[in-house]
Amino acid sequence: MTTVSSYRLPQDLPADIDTYEQEVQRFLRGETPGGVFKAKRVPRGVYEQREDGTYMVRVRVAAGTLTPVQTAELAAASRAFGNGVLHVTTRQDIQFHDVAIENTPAVMRRLLAVGLTSKGGGGNTVRNIMACPYAGICPAECFDVTACAHAVTEYLITLVGSYNLPRKYKIAFSGCAADCGLAQVADLGFVAETRDGQPGFRVLAGGGMGANSRLADTLLDWVPASDIVRIAETVRRLFDRMGDRTNRHRARLRYVFERIGRDAFRREFDAEAAVVAAAGVPLWSGELPTNPAPGRTEAPQVTVMEGIRVVAQRQAGYYAVPLHLPHGFLPAADLARIGVLAAQYSAEGGLRTTRAQNLLIRFVKEAHVPLLATALRGLATDVLTPVPLDRFVVCAGSSTCRLGICLARNAAQACADALADPAIRRDTIEAMEFYLNGCPNACGQQPLGPLGFFGSSKRSGGHLVPCYRVTVGGRCHAAGARFGTPVGTVPAASLASFVRDTALDFQANRQPAESFIAYSDRVGIEHFAAFAERHAAIPPYAEHPEFYRDLGADEAFSLAGRGAGECGAGVFEVIQEDLAAARKADDAFGILLPTARALLITRGVDARDPDAVLREFERHFIDTKLVGEEFRPLLARARARIQGWEAALDGLEQEIGRLRDRVELLHSTLDGNLEFHPPEPAEPVAAAAPPSGGELDLSGVACPMNFVKAKLKLEPLATGSTLALVLDDGEPVRNVPASFKAEGQEIEETTDLGNGRWRVVVRKRK
């Protein structure tokens, strides 16, 4: 048995904090623009919260290991500079909130003094390296992977290249195939295996969760543990070189695998690994005593002793005590006290954070369990009593996160309250797990949830409605990982009743000791789709206005204030709904109004009054020259129509159609930062030479087959070649060029041939 350890910090970290402090001062003096400063602070783990001017600091806790000295300092720093409440994340980090930007350097120095850092806590960096919280105590593990996670952390955080990657780089270690560390969904995952008595790993790569989740591929069937640092560095270099830096939506490592395939990536890996070895990247030489008698490959089981939950360790006579933190939160005083209790009652003298947003005190002697329980009951937070909320993993949602769509924590609490129904037994709840996220980005890990929910929005009668997409059947264990299957969308106001009814259905039809995952596999997805459909109705606003407010909110639901980020999902959905409404409308004003409204949400505007919609569109799009000046009189005529001139838009259908085309073009260029990238006006050219790829007549061919045929024609051409396309008016001429642009090709010419046909010239760039 060893005392709990931590990772070693880079020697240049004090100088880096000094540099950052100078950046803060320049920002406060107005010498550095906010966007430039953001690029300095985010890789150091400093994020702006939903409320302008308030910040969150994310502290990396490699493998989740914390010492009592560290917990005491985290608590003290939170009280001194934040709101006095700590938050455990699903990646085993610790966060504190409501920090003034001028205090962030002081926070970093206090962390440094106890061997912690926020560097790499955010941005396009090597993120916190996860490990199973039961590492070192699990009866099923091959060996304790904690030292491995620390070793890879210590190497990668010293590299300048670890802080300017195409996107985040996430690494995870698991001690057995049960994969409590989630290696199967990581950018790089290590699953421990022992061969001929030698500790080593099966290596997986290319996984990740988000709006487009992907399971990792097996990259290496088995390697000795000494190779871990070289492997992590090899994959980092490949990601740095091959990741897509032009499209934030497709920048993660998993898209490299999708683009070139596992076999091609393996060939690149083998070549780069030789370069890494020749460059002197070290082998790891740590010792890893193996578990002489690994048991069944499954997650450790929770039992009850002295009225509290415990986990029996593989070390006879010792237990781990899980502490449930509501929504992952804990007052600073409670965290400091738990650190003291860990020093007093844990033989390893520390504690662990878990991906379920909880804490774990390990190596507690059986005789000390009741003493520890008595002490823990003296905390302000009840961390011991089983409650429905302890079955939820939930992200911050829109309460603080700028990417959040819905108030996820309020939704989790409402669902937990519904599960407190006396008709629902505790053993039913214990067999269920709920993963809830405020948007599709998966900070709440909902793709892996047996029951998963993520925030979205819909329009109904001109009003926005907060909703949750429901997925069923996610899991990550020894039999493999699987993402949940979508079964429908439920308004936030109906989510709690959906959860309660699902639990009652499970309880009534469950076989003895059956888990919810096994139940969902047995009854089938259609069963849950029907459940979701029964809870999907959205009543009219006048009858039930509460459906148009988020849970726990007093004001009407809005996406205004949602900031730019990795994924604009939610924002994008609302835009698409408005554009679809414009395409379906058959009168001039019915086309114009949703066209003007569609993109306003990217500017934080959720106007409902038609006159306000038109004026805000003019301010945000015509005044900024994203839309041409020639459309300003059209908007004036539309306002006249609102004021009673019924014929104001007569004869202007073609001009309205051109405005809609421009808005749809802007939409096609919208990136994850909610910025537009419209093409520059084409320069007048003399008669051009015939296009090198010839001409493809696609008139009469509908979407998406026209794009497929055009793509097949373009693919064999050399880079720099051009292909002329003849496309029909409407969707073909809007969608096909936009699709090529999204793939990195250049639209060189768009010419109206008359009679509803267009000539589009595509130049191949990649």
Establish whether the linkage from the previous residue to 545 is cis, with ω within 30° of 0: no
pLDDT digits (tens, 9 = 90+) for 723-738: 888 888 888 888 888 8
Question: Comparing 13-19+42-113 with 302-389, is the CATH topology the same?
Answer: yes
Return the pLDDT at 571. Answer: 60
pLDDT digits (tens, 9 = 90+) for 127-159: 999 999 999 999 999 999 999 999 999 999 999
- Residue range 138-278, CATH number: 3.30.413.10
Return the pLDDT at 686. Answer: 36
CATH architecture of 695-763: 2-Layer Sandwich (3.30)
Query: Is residue 564 scored above 60 in pLDDT?
Result: no
Return the pLDDT at 688. Answer: 35
Specify the long-range contacts of residues 196-203, CB closer than 8 Å, at least 24 apart.
197/290, 198/224, 198/225, 199/142, 199/143, 199/224, 199/225, 199/288, 199/290, 200/224, 200/225, 201/173, 201/225, 201/228, 203/231
391-548 belongs to which homologous superfamily?
A: Sulfite Reductase Hemoprotein, domain 1 (3.30.413.10)
Query: Is residue 211 scored above 60 in pLDDT?
Result: yes
User: Predicted confidence band at 336 (pLDDT cuts at 50, 70, 90)?
Assistant: very high
d(CA 721, CA 706) in angstroms, rounded, equals 19
Q: Which of 432-446, 631-645, 666-680 is predicted least confidently?
A: 666-680
Ordered by start, the domain boundaries in the chain are 13-19+42-113, 138-278, 302-389, 391-548, 571-668, 695-763
13-19+42-113 belongs to which homologous superfamily?
A: Sulfite Reductase Hemoprotein;Domain 2 (3.90.480.10)
φ, ψ for residue 138 (rounded to 5)?
A: -75, 130
> Is CATH 3.90.480.20 what the domain over 302-389 is classified as, yes or no?
yes
Query: Is residue 691 scored above 50 in pLDDT?
Result: no
d(CA 117, CA 16) in angstroms, rounded, equals 11
Return the pLDDT at 20. Answer: 95
pLDDT digits (tens, 9 = 90+) for 501-545: 999 999 999 999 999 999 999 999 999 999 999 999 999 999 999
Do the beta carbons of residue 562 and residue 570 sit within 8 Å?
yes
d(CA 700, CA 727) in angstroms, rounded, equals 8
User: Predicted confidence band at 689 (pLDDT cuts at 50, 70, 90)?
Assistant: very low
Task: For residue 423, give both structure tokens.
Answer: 């008709």
Query: Is residue 692 scored above 70 in pLDDT?
Result: no
Burial class (CB in 10 A: 0-12, 13-18, 19+), 586: exposed
Q: How many CB atoms lie within 10 A of CB 419?
A: 24
pLDDT digits (tens, 9 = 90+) for 433-458: 999 998 888 888 999 999 999 998 88
CA distances to 24, 60, 96, 342, 505 from 74, in Å: 22, 12, 9, 15, 44
CA distances to 218, 300, 334, 374, 381 from 351, in Å: 32, 17, 14, 18, 17
Return the pLDDT at 1. Answer: 56
CA proximity to 696, closest of 640, 665, 740: 740
User: Predicted confidence band at 693 (pLDDT cuts at 50, 70, 90)?
Assistant: low
Query: Is residue 344 scored above 60 in pLDDT?
Result: yes
Return the pLDDT at 608. Answer: 72
Return the pLDDT at 672. Answer: 55
In three-state secondary structure terms, 171 is strand
d(CA 318, CA 386) in angstroms, rounded, equals 22
User: Predicted confidence band at 566 (pLDDT cuts at 50, 70, 90)?
Assistant: very low
Do the beta carbons of residue 455 and residue 408 sit within 8 Å?
yes
- What integer is the mean pLDDT of 253-279? 96
Return the pLDDT at 690. Answer: 37
d(CA 308, CA 558) in angstroms, rounded, equals 42
Burial class (CB in 10 A: 0-12, 13-18, 19+), 681: exposed
Query: Is residue 423 scored above 70 in pLDDT?
Result: yes
pLDDT digits (tens, 9 = 90+) for 351-376: 999 999 999 999 999 999 999 999 99
The average confidence (pLDDT) of the chain is: 90
Return the pLDDT at 101. Answer: 97
Query: Is residue 673 scored above 80 in pLDDT?
Result: no
Beta bridge partners of 227: none
d(CA 177, CA 754) in angstroms, rounded, equals 63
Distance of CA 376 to the CA centre of its chain: 33
DSSP class per residue in 262-276: HHHHHHHHHHHHHHH
Return the pLDDT at 38. Answer: 85
Return the pLDDT at 562. Answer: 56
